Structure 1
């Protein structure tokens, strides 16, 4: 449901987000008066100890909370299909046939050092990525200031669906960074536009103080404290009430059951789908017959049930489109809402149609053995379990032996295409185009070359043509039609095996703070991994009574 927001457009687009309740008028959401206490949060992807470096461009370890110190021009509501919402930009309008977006900055935004946000800061921030590919590169081709309160961003072709790329770019203060080397500078005193500023650092905890002049309103808590909690001790810290909120890998079912009145489960359905990656760039999965066979041989419903054993709810089996049914229900072709059912006869028929046989546990073609390896990181127990379940099912249904390979280099092997099967979270909640575009053939790198996207190396000319049409339209009905065309190709060609819709599983302790979103159908997501979502969550919270 990605829409462009024109000046004067309806504020309903930003439904449920505190920071957007006043977006169209240029105001901010009204927050609870006063401040009280500290909220303790587990740092996303927490390491045993923190690094005192808050450089948003650093390629090495950084301290926690970067995503709420620095903010982007735009955000998205992944609870509502990835619709774009205003953030530091209060509105935007298209011109030049969809090649240029002019973004008007929100008035009254200040950096934590008290200086106002200006178009010069935004132009400098966007230009850094444009001129320095090592910082991640940019999809746009030019950016310039427009008057005293706006910037114009230009692409080489119609880019209605590329506007969302700006969500990932941190806006920094030009005068602080103009003489710094962004890749190597060690920043111990970060300055951003976010609602909290650095207060105290230690390797075990980072404390940030709430700003009284934040454009989105004053947070109800005086301090936000990030706690270094590893998978080995997070459950204990939650149980002894030393952490108020986390999105982390724990036994959420037992945590909620230990104190049902105060312990809450919060599922951030962020558009992700736990999937089996099939390496389309090399045999045997370069052959669609093999991809279809493996997809039909897997019982996604059984895997989804087992994978949800530590959650208070059942994660649903995925649509064969690879899109999350939780996030994109209204965008998925109705005939593909139901998961692919296990069909062993069809799986065997697909192998036969491709000229394959199975002998002694080995996949064979033209007298040659085609060994199959499933790569899974040994330090991610959840993904390793998924791999084991899939391997077991393929053995039972097709009689094929699959070697399980894991270790510290697993992620690198997958990125470089040195795998047959792998499992991870795919898709996204950033809008229908973004979710499908990660399988764009133009993004597929050769085997041996690291892929930042399309790591399954799927190439299909018809699919790419549909994506190009999607990128160039802002007509929502047309976008939906094209999305369904792309889905049909995806289902037929099976670049991955979608297993179940997932997200960031979180838990909250209401002993100190209340106002958490509901687990079932939230208006916004509570997720420590997303800065705009965490900020929205924090601004909804109030001190618990008593």
Structure 2
């Protein structure tokens, strides 16, 4: 079967006053006003602090390299129903019962150190994923056979159709001749990465680092010659840098987003609903979680106490949209949203009475200060948020006021991205505002497997990848395993009962408290570079921190005038 045949069937710490111009390589004007060479793209990912040098594509703390340095076999567009794009692979095909996946690789590819790329590298990477629990977020258990230098066969004991987009599109091939000598790949930071991708690491400093075009890239040296990643003090600094023409691409909030293009000559803005904003909770007592948030009643009370219309207006400039407690995207995944949910989408306004009823039924009583308590312990919680993320900070501060009306005290704990991420991954938190990012293809299965399968979590103190809530539910696990074996051609009537089971359980348990679907907003310098995604040509999800989507965008960019 050809590359596209199966897929076609399946479709039924702050820098503060330091300026970017001083950090960037080169100086001087350019079309669009950015203070760097005209073929250097300056990007800001929202990092508040300094860069910690880590280019291990499988590390939760990796800062770059996925797609740009290390490549997948194919690119799967999560923003729309596209057929996969060839990267290191050229074709793939399942056998009739979904137990064997044949992959054909691109010929003539070299690693950035000059060594030849071949099937041995792919087999090594797949085997490493299978044998390294910290890397194996999707439960890959296949065996890999090198057929010849350009062909690999992956065999499974059971039908494994849903593994294909993850294995082919979210597995980043690493060089066997280097990684085979690494004793602990889980902790190695890959300070000097070697990849096949269109870019390689140039200069690195804690304030900024540069990716430079790979002159020996198999698809030709990119027209975009340099990508400069800068660190700032947060969203406000990013907005200020945009206004000054000092950065070319960022994904995040800016003031007066409705009039952004009119106020920023040469720049464009695009907003795509994709990432589901949540209060992640450390929910599982059996895995070491502690605090009031381990009580499902508390989680449901918080869910009902939110006024999402106010949150959307104050924190997100009305760019967010409805979210489903079953965590299928109401727009993209409308057909999958279960009719059996108690709430097909979360309410826009607060239902304080419902929140109070839930708490009192669970044995909580209001104290004289208006805050509920149980067994002498006040219902007081801490929420973690990254310093400088102004939209999230506004959201949790507003939530604190809303929850107080419902008798729940919420304390806001701001910290650096590194500290907040470490705490979230290790389970050392009560609540954390974050987003459930989409999976390997436009199917809610991947969000469920990543964030709700017990395979994807660890006890408190160990890094979860990425089931931060430490959620474990046998019915959810079993439904996901059944879905993984179903041919997508089986039809929705066959698949939907499993989605119903998953959604009913996660609505009841609510390890992630739904807020809104974030309208992911990116701003970019169209006066300096052409080839950006548009609403009409959404060839990749246009978020600077979404990987490997960012590498597809890098590949499409050209300096204006060329």
Using structure 2 for the length normalisation, give the TM-score. Answer: 0.77
| 1:318-368, Cα deviation, whole Å (9 max, x unpaired) | 222233335433432367654334323332332333333222334234x54
Structural mapping, 1:449-468, within 5 Å: 450-468=463-481
Structure 1 pair 83–305 and aligned structure 2 pair: CA distance change class (3 A) = farther
Rounded Cα–Cα distance in structure 1 between residues aligned with 2:429 and 2:56: 34
Moved more, 518-527 or 145-154: 518-527
Report deviation, 1:387: 2.1
Deviations 1:13-59 (A, max 9, x none): 999xxxxxxxxxxxxxxxxxxxx951313254657666777565779
Residue by residue over 1:220-267, the C-alpha shift from the partner in whole angstroms, topping out at 9 and shown as x without a partner, is 33x123142413643444333332222345547298256455221133
- What does the per-residue CA deviation read over 1:273-317, in whole Å, with 9 as the maximum and x for residues that have no partner? 1112344325644444333332222222221222213xxx62113
State the SS of the aligned residue for 1:124. Answer: helix
> Contact 1:290/1:351 (CA < 8 Å) preserved in 2?
yes
Q: Report the counterpart of residue 346 of structure 2 in structure 1.
A: 339
Q: 2:402 aligns to what?
A: 393
Once residues 468 and 318 of structure 1 are traced to their aligned partners in structure 2, the CA distance between those partners, rounded to angstroms, is 25
- How far the C-alpha of 1:145 sits from its partner, in A, is 0.6
Q: Where does residue 324 of structure 2 map in the other structure? A: 319
Structure 1 residue 383 corresponds to structure 2 residue 392: yes
Q: Specify whether residues 289 and 198 from structure 1 end up closer, same or farther in structure 2 by C-alpha distance, changes over 3 A only.
A: closer
Which SS does the other structure have where 2:381 is aligned? strand
CA distance, structure 2, for counterparts of residue 446 and residue 175 of structure 1: 33
- Is residue 492 of structure 1 aligned with residue 492 of structure 2? no
1:393 shift after superposition = 1.0
Question: What CA distance in whole angstroms lies between the structure 1 residues aligned with 2:208 and 2:428?
Answer: 38
Rounded Cα–Cα distance in structure 1 between residues aligned with 2:337 and 2:82: 14
Alpha-carbon contact 1:197-1:208 (below 8 Å) kept = yes
Task: Tell me: CA distance 1:132–1:459, structure 2 relative to 1, closer, same or farther (3 Å).
Answer: closer
**Matched residue, 1:363:** 372
Give the structure 2 partner of residue 276 of structure 1.
279
The answer for unaligned runs of 5 or more in structure 2 is 12-36, 286-290
Question: Is contact 2:210–2:227 with CA below 8 Å preserved after alignment?
Answer: yes
Flag the 1:102–1:483 CA change in 2: closer, same or farther, 3 A: same
Q: Report the 3-state secondary structure (helix = DSSP H, G, I; strand = E; otherwise coil) of the residue aligned with 1:275.
A: strand
What is the rounded CA distance, in whole Å, between the counterparts of 1:116 and 1:348 in structure 2? Answer: 64
Is 1:290 the counterpart of 2:293? The answer is no
Find out whether 1:536 has 2:552 as its counterpart: yes
Q: SS of 1:68's equivalent? A: coil
Provide the rounded CA distance (Å) in 2 between the counterparts of 1:411 and 1:112: 31
Structure 1 pair 359–46 and aligned structure 2 pair: CA distance change class (3 A): closer
Aligned to 2:359: 351
Q: CA RMSD in A?
A: 3.9
Q: Equivalents in 2 of 1:13, 1:466: separation in Å? A: 22
2:98/2:161 contact within 8 Å kept:
yes
Q: Measure the CA separation in 2 of the matches of 1:287 and 1:229.
A: 38
- Cα deviation, 1:192-241, whole Å, max 9, x if unaligned, reads 221234565666654545456644455333x1231424136434443333
CA contact (8 A) 2:94 2:101 kept: yes
**Per-residue deviation, residues 68-113 of structure 1 (Å, max 9, x unmatched):** 0210123321102798654322232234943442222134434345
Gaps of 5+ in 1: 16-35
* Counterpart position of 2:88: 88
Q: Which moves more between the two structures, 288-297 or 200-209?
A: 200-209
- In the TM superposition, what are the counterparts of 1:376-525 in structure 2 within 5 Å? 376-377=384-385, 379-381=387-389, 382-396=391-405, 398-407=406-415, 410-430=420-440, 431-437=443-449, 438-447=451-460, 450-475=463-488, 476-477=491-492, 478-502=494-518, 504-518=520-534, 522-525=538-541
Whole-angstrom distance in 1 between the partners of 2:456 and 2:57? 25
Say if 1:272 and 1:429, in contact at 8 Å, map to a contact too.
Answer: no
Task: Determine the C-alpha separation between the residues in 1 that align with 2:464 and 2:314.
Answer: 31
C-alpha distance in 2 between matches for 1:61 and 1:535: 15
- Give the 5 Å matches for 1:172-251: 172-179=174-181, 183=185, 190-198=193-201, 206-211=209-214, 214-216=217-219, 219-221=222-224, 223-231=225-233, 233-248=237-252, 250-251=254-255
Q: Which residue of 1 aligns with 2:16?
A: none
Q: Residues 7, 290 of structure 1: CA spacing in aligned structure 2 closer, same or farther, 3 A cutoff?
A: same
DSSP 3-state at the match of 1:79: coil
Work out whether residues 320 and 498 of structure 1, in 8 Å CA contact, stay in contact via their aligned partners in 2. yes
Q: Residues 441 and 220 from structure 1, CA distance in 2 versus in 1: closer, same or farther, beyond 3 angstroms?
A: closer
2:552 and 2:467 mapped to 1: Cα distance? 31
Question: Contact 2:475 / 2:501 at 8 angstroms: preserved in 1?
Answer: no
Which residue is equivalent to 1:9?
A: 5
Where do residues 107-126 of structure 1 align in structure 2 (5 Å cutoff)?
107-113=107-113, 115-126=115-126
CA distance in 1, matches of 2:457, 2:132: 22
- Indicate if the aligned counterparts of 2:135 and 2:465 stay in contact, CA closer than 8 A: no
Q: How many residue pairs end up in the alignment?
A: 514
Q: SS at the partner of 1:385?
A: helix
